[in-house]
Structure 1
């Protein structure tokens, strides 16, 4: 997917009070960033940020970090963030593979993966955010009760994830192939993509996974 670059996006992100610069320096000290010891949950690939900002508004006693590697996309989220009075959410412009260098083991209590790039070619499977490689990264930062929640409209990616996640040593707690016609829809927060797909009648798949204790 080729994204249109927005002139000045990098500069605006660099100067934003809502974006953590050099997040590696915060490793083990994220409670200082937020000024409290509340649980931290992150969204990998936050897009324009509707999902995670709504969670932050609903749950003031949970801290949130939205992660987006594309500056032009993150910029849209920053514009929305500036309209909200929130103290429990920050953003980072980093690649998800770097998470182990940014958080200590146990600093994160939950990870959201929403409508991730499917990387449909087999040779790109390691880039999928539910691959064994990325699940191992999540294991480096989640606390003992931490969970990964994954939503997608892409059935091949979901089928792949249903196999790859257990192969990585995780247990799938729940799954559905049609979230909005299931018992799991209560309390669901939709992303921008999800709203579009649901309006078209596309089924949304969801799973929740946790690390199996050895």
Structure 2
């Protein structure tokens, strides 16, 4: 137990790295998924390439995608650090899932609202951004939070490319102390705390931002 106290600063740093990688990737993935899905609604030229991308990303393991970016890109002359590769791969991976969340949210909006906007001489673009999108964000917020948590958990795969996040740090501590129960208990507790923090933030947004403060 006393030995484990010496490793608490390592766990704290690992939590910070895990959170930084996960939030950067989730934010980039959410923005990318939103933008491409929005373009799909307006441009057939974007629709089919984006659908093919979503089909490919969702049909292959994230670990394989991470390996291609970290180990494969140097062959093309682009070398990324482990942290950069983890963020980029996780952002590209999560963008497909975030995009599907937004697609489902936009499909939930009744056609009658679009027709009413046309009757009031509101352009299709204005209707999309000012009428449909705010509702889509409200509909999708719980699922966006869930996907952010899934992104957090997927970040554990970054341990294979030596990103000093929670899973890699735990493995290093286990190898040093030959203890298993306490390090892995701390690992589980750390992921649980981070997931709860994300849930609380999403709940706060739902109550105060998208609901207009009501």
Q: Give the TM-score normalised by the residue count of structure 2.
A: 0.25
> Quick one: higher RCO (CA 8 Å, sep 6+), 1 or 2?
2
Q: Give the TM-score normalised by the residue count of structure 1.
A: 0.25
Indicate the structure with greater helix content.
2
